[in-house]
């Protein structure tokens, strides 16, 4: 359908509305963060819940920007969504959580470059949803996921986890 001036075009696809979330500043735990998506906000609440259980020591939202100094074009910087600290409080360890509603080739490139330039940094990719079976429509997503898995610790499905804990 061709859009008309001043009106939104109707589309055939269904868009998931994330509980009416609007990007902005939100308080989660003792942190005041600017979240760009409802998934990021809900994941922060989940990490705060894990912190309360003693499963993790702490978490920070986008605390560091990594630079790929030898890259001349394309993705030169990468900012993972969450730094998650775990282990004993006196000897913490860490990993990065990268949340994706939609995995693009540019995202896989960032993960590949992180593995090359910062091999000691562990990244866990958290996808909003992962389809159960391959179809003609999602074959590209599965190809990107398989490619990304070479450069990360593991892939987790956010909606499944958040639903289990009621967030």
DSSP code for 118: -
- The pTM assigned to this predicted structure is 0.84
3-state secondary structure at position 74: coil
Q: What is the pLDDT along the chain (167 residues), one digit of tens a residue?
A: 334 344 434 433 333 445 578 899 999 999 999 999 999 999 999 999 999 999 999 999 999 999 999 888 888 999 999 999 998 766 769 999 999 999 999 999 999 999 999 999 999 999 999 988 888 888 999 999 999 999 999 999 999 999 999 99
| Tokens, residue 62 | 């986008």
Contact indicator for 154, 128 with CB cutoff of 8 Å? no
């Amino acid at each position: 359908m061709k859009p008309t001036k001043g009106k939104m075009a109707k589309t055939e696809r269904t868009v998931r509305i994330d509980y009416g979330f609007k990007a902005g500043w939100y308080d989660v735990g003792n942190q005041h963060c600017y979240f760009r998506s409802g998934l990021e906000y809900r994941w922060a609440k989940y990490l705060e819940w894990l912190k309360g259980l003693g499963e993790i020591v702490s978490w920070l939202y986008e605390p560091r920007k990594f630079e790929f100094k030898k890259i001349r074009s394309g993705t030169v910087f990468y900012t993972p969504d969450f730094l998650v600290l775990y282990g004993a409080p006196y000897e913490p360890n860490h990993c990065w959580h990268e949340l994706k509603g939609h995995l693009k080739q540019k995202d896989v490139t960032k993960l590949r470059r992180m593995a090359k330039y910062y091999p000691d940094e562990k990244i866990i990719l958290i996808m909003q949803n992962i389809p159960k079976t391959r179809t003609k429509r999602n074959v590209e997503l599965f190809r990107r996921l398989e490619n990304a898995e070479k450069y990360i610790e593991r892939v987790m499905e956010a909606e499944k986890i958040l639903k289990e804990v009621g967030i």
